[in-house]
Amino acid sequence: MIYIALGASDEIGGSCHYLNIHGTGLLLDSGIDPEEEGLAGIPRLDIIDENSDYWVDHAIITHAHHDHIGAMPVVLQKFPHAIAHMSGATEQLAEILLPASARLQLRKQREGTSTSNPLFYEEELDAYSYLYRSHDLNIPFDVTGVRASVPVRASFYDAGHILGSVGILLEFESGGEEKRYFYTGDTGMRAQTIIPGAEYPDSPIDVLFLESTLGADPESEKTSRRTEENGLAEAVAEVLKRGGTVLLPVFALGRGQEIIALVDRYKKRGLIPEETPVYTAGLMRAISDVYDKTRFSTPRLNPDFEVYGVSQSRLPRSHTATLLALTEPSIHIVGSGMMFERTISNRLAQQLVESDKNGIFMVGYTRPDSPGHRLLEARRAGKGTKAVLDENKGPQSIQCDVDRFRFSGHSHRRDLMEVVKRLNPGRIVLVHGETEARAWMKNNIEYFYPEIDVISPQTGEVVEL
């Protein structure tokens, strides 16, 4: 049995893992590296394509974030006989997100902001959809390959994280023994505002493919969600009290819906005025519709809650109307979460940062090279420090309140250690983490569970399981 990391082994982004189980070729996830353009951002599919001993029968997708599903059309182009498996909610989200990705790639090429050709075009996607298969949680389905010597079954388990996210259990016979491999995908063990925590198998696992995103982040394990929720409520209330506008940059899938639900909770508890206008925009609104349509068929803390049950208005499209909306005490929940140039959150931030009435509060991770990160660093340096949010506009004096609150959909490292304890694997393959994160996880697993074999493979490395 062979394992090869084709992406996201020693980094976060472009998740793709190859398994050959007695002749069955599987891809676990097929994501794109968001920091790269074009072919540079896709997994190392060439390793499989150029070796006659490797092939792909099935691609199994854990969730609809771009770094886990974004290269799926490329996989189906390269391996047209492969079947793509995912949860029902992920399939619905893919029908929104993949066309949006195709349009964005084409726009960047036409505008000259990218020199890469689009990886796929919107009109091609319908041709791939007949290869999609959706599955319910905890119900085994067959993924046996055409050249397989033994049957292989897969099952989905709720991974927390976002709507539709799953962990993947693979079961097969080897050497007269039943084997169980489990891939966590991105895991959120603790409940959020809408989505409950992960529910993984109880029985021991032979090989565990474990994410390690927050392995090098001690702050995440020290911070409680309740503390962050209360802190954000106080920050928002203070800005509204002085007549300012609040900007909450969010990721369109997952964080956006969770923050809308949280703002609704603030209103119902009297933490902020109930009449405060809430504005949303862009792709997030279409995604919220999927959240509502699937609320009785996917794990929820409260199935009766609807994202569109929260009073909200579409952010006006015209520049003049948008500026008018920014003059009133209001809350704007829009993408992108890192405030990249030419996104709605970036354009709004440019209008807000130079007034000390306003507040911009980050609710997720910001890359060091992102405008969101530059904004945070400037404000920490002191009021009035300048930062560049848009190259065309140039440096702006940061006068508004700026802060970051931790609302990660990932499990912190102590929770990941609990996953290890619960699943009691014989071997662990650490993935989806920077070098320091995987090192912390490896050192601590080996210290507390010396009987477990822990490996941290490099991209392209062939591992015998």
Token pair recorded at residue 381: 């340096």
Q: Say if residues 408 and 365 touch (Cβ distance below 8 Å).
A: yes
Can you list the positions of beta strands (E) in 393-447? 395-397, 401-404, 427-431
CA distance linking residue 342 with residue 124, whole number of Å: 26
Can you list the positions of beta strands (E) in 16-163? 16-21, 24-28, 58-60, 83-87, 132-135, 141-142, 152-158
* Tens-digit pLDDT string for the chain (465 aa): 999 999 867 777 789 999 999 999 999 999 999 888 899 999 999 999 999 999 999 999 999 999 999 999 999 999 999 999 999 999 999 999 999 999 999 999 998 888 899 999 999 998 899 999 999 999 999 999 999 999 999 999 999 999 999 999 999 999 999 999 999 999 999 999 999 999 999 889 999 999 998 888 888 888 889 999 999 999 999 999 999 999 999 999 999 999 999 999 999 999 999 999 999 998 999 999 999 999 999 999 999 999 999 999 999 988 888 888 899 999 999 999 999 998 999 999 999 999 999 999 999 888 888 999 999 999 899 999 999 999 989 999 999 999 999 998 899 999 999 999 999 999 999 999 889 999 999 999 999 999 999 999 999 999 999
Whole-model pTM: value is 0.95
Can you list the positions of beta strands (E) in 29-82? 58-60
Can you list the positions of beta strands (E) in 148-206? 152-158, 166-174, 177-183
HSE-CB for 244 with a 13 A CA cutoff = 24
Nearest one of 162, 143, 160 to 151, comparing CA atoms? 143
Phi and psi, residue 70, nearest 5°: -60, -25
User: For the chain, which domains are there?
Assistant: 2-217+409-464 (3.60.15.10), 225-404 (3.40.50.10890)
* Percentages (nearest 5) of helix, strand, coil residues in the chain: 35, 20, 45
